[in-house]
Amino acid sequence: MSSSVNELVHWNASRLSEALVAKVVSSEEVTQAHLDRIAAVDGPAETGVHAFLHVAAESALARAREIDADRAKGAVLGALAGVPIGVKDVLTTRGMPTTCGSRMLQGWVPPYDATVVRELHAAGLVVLGKTNMDEFAMGSTTEHSAYGPTRNPWDPTRIPGGSGGGSAAALAAFEAPLTIGSDTGGSIRQPAAVTGTVGVKPTYGGVSRYGLVALASSLDQAGPCARTVLDTALLHAVIAGHDPYDSTSIPADVPDVVGAARQGASGDLTGVRVGVVTELSGEGYEAGVTARFTEAVALMREAGAEVVELSLPNLVHALAAYYLILPSEASSNLAKFDGMRYGLRVTPEGEHVTAEQVMRATRAAGFGDEAKRRIILGTYALSAGYYDAYYGSAQKVRTLVQRDFARAFGQVDVLVSPTAPTTAYRLGEKLDDPLAMYAGDVATIPANLAGIPGMSLPAGLSDDGLPVGLQVLAPQQADDRLYRVGAAVEARLTAQWGGPLLARVPEWKGATA
């Protein structure tokens, strides 16, 4: 493997798109460049970035050649046709393994594509493979993947965030210009924050959940991840929209996210009302995180935004409510992994082994610690005698959180906060302290409880040299506001920095085993 890096892997999706349309490059060249990059930095699992669980080199190149041939014939193709993409391993892919980061689904090849994946194929994107994640999307570090953690390209000893750490790290390590994530409590936004990339959790119901293996059905949302706000918008436009295969899909037009990103790129926020959330700052937030956040807010003011501070008092209970609602829904959703119809089956020794014994042995072997913890917690919260105090109360908190947001969005267009209270911590640091890990989700969780859209974009580097994320939140079905504000902040910050933040990510040298 040559040590020189093919320049194509540093190009953003929008630049690749223009070059592909102009036939300056072919999709085959672009795809090969990314496959080479993956081969150079992603493995081995013990020391590489390990953003991918499965690389589909052959099918990717075949698809790229198809797109090139279509383009040569003069076919009208989508804006992102021929651009490579990584897909979080929580979305089903026909003919391509889907494990959800779990032993339970090792070797499983789904018989159908998720709607999001079908949309990617229809738009001509080239699927490079499946990205690593915490098991069944439960975790904030990817350490809960049964196949080993992903490493943060900024520092291989640190977490890439989670659960979608693979999708974020693949972007920051230039293994893919675009990836798909899923966000139940921050699994798109927190990895984006700690890797210096962009990620959006769309409005609940804005992107189909069909084929997204369910963790918590009332909170899960698939969404786009990229290195720039415009790229994220281009991908958002491909995957969003009503899907009759998902009964919770919103039957409405998708906001013009690409137009909003282009509008925001001027850097002007005149007339935009921005609310700084009192409860999502201060105590518990690292000084370096607070400093970058405060600067970003000042920048929005310079850009013409009216900035006010707003209190959403019930957000202080959001984390607690979430860690009751999520395990409750998860314990129910994960009941389907019983070793009967697909996935792992473990049969204990002995005669007359019953189905129930097989289920218990299969689930003992197939689920990791974090999955088991949440299943047991959910089973407890839903049991008779505790239901009202725990699950019932948590659902009421959810109402109060929604009311707080409704009140706030009566006064401002968007809300902002740091995405996460800390920068990337060390792998292993919080592995045996689930509560400490959960606390990192404090700023992202409220959006999932309320079903509103949220974005994380790079706000700069903290004193430790690691990326800090700025979170922008908007009302349901106003995803376009995230892109307008995000693009304006991005334009001003990159002008200040003299280039994108990711230009400063060190060249990957690998972890020491």
User: Residues in the site for another protein, rule: CB under 8 A?
Assistant: 108-112, 204-205, 218, 244, 247-248, 250, 314, 317, 320-321, 323-324, 331, 335, 338-345, 347, 352-361, 363-364, 367, 372-373, 375-377, 379-380, 383, 389-390, 392-400, 402, 434-435, 438, 449-452, 476
Q: How far is the CB of 41 from another protein (least distance, A)?
A: 32
The C-alpha atoms of residue 358 and residue 39 are separated, in whole angstroms, by 39
Burial class (CB in 10 A: 0-12, 13-18, 19+), 404: buried
Q: How far is the CB of 397 from another protein (least distance, A)?
A: 5
Distances (CA, A) of 82 to 191, 301, 496: 26, 39, 32
Closer residue to another protein (CB): 290 or 393: 393
The C-alpha atoms of residue 278 and residue 416 are separated, in whole angstroms, by 10
Q: How far is the CB of 364 from another protein (least distance, A)?
A: 4
Strand partners, 91: 212
Catalytic residues: 88, 163, 187
Helix (H, G, I), strand (E, B) or coil at 43: coil
Q: How far is the CB of 204 from another protein (least distance, A)?
A: 5
Q: Residues with Cβ < 8 Å from 254, sequence gap 6 or more?
A: 206, 236, 237, 240, 241, 479
Q: Residues with Cβ < 8 Å from 342, sequence gap 6 or more?
A: 105, 108
User: Residue 141: which of 509, 386, 420 has the closest Cα?
Assistant: 420
Q: How far is the CB of 220 from another protein (least distance, A)?
A: 11
Closer residue to another protein (CB): 174 or 390: 390
Q: Residues with Cβ < 8 Å from 247, sequence gap 6 or more?
A: none
Closer residue to another protein (CB): 190 or 476: 476
Q: Residues with Cβ < 8 Å from 471, sequence gap 6 or more?
A: 189, 193, 280, 416, 417, 418, 419, 443, 444, 454, 455, 456
Q: How far is the CB of 221 from another protein (least distance, A)?
A: 9
Residue matched to tokens 């109360």: 393
What's the alpha-carbon Rg for the chain, to the nearest Å?
Answer: 22
User: Residue 370: which of 137, 152, 190, 88 has the closest Cα?
Assistant: 137
Closer residue to another protein (CB): 263 or 278: 278
Q: How far is the CB of 277 from another protein (least distance, A)?
A: 18
Closer residue to another protein (CB): 47 or 393: 393
Q: Which two tokens stand for residue 444?
A: 């992202």
Q: How far is the CB of 67 from another protein (least distance, A)?
A: 27
Q: Which two tokens stand for residue 245?
A: 């295969």
Angle at which helix 115-122 crosses helix 229-239, to 10 degrees, equals 110
Closer residue to another protein (CB): 134 or 490: 134
Q: Residue 149 corresponds to which amino acid?
A: P
Strand partners, 226: 178, 198
Instruction: Tally the C-alpha atoms within 13 A of residue 395's C-alpha that lie toward its C-beta.
Output: 10
User: Residue 132: which of 52, 187, 192, 195 has the closest Cα?
Assistant: 52
Q: How far is the CB of 399 from another protein (least distance, A)?
A: 4
Q: How far is the CB of 233 from another protein (least distance, A)?
A: 22
Closer residue to another protein (CB): 108 or 497: 108
- The full DSSP string for 426-467 is BTTTTTT-HHHHHHTTTTTHHHHHHT--EEEEEEEE-TTS-E
Closer residue to another protein (CB): 294 or 379: 379
- The full DSSP string for 267-308 is ---TT-EEEEEGGGSSTTS-HHHHHHHHHHHHHHHHTT-EEE
Closer residue to another protein (CB): 89 or 175: 89
Closer residue to another protein (CB): 37 or 317: 317
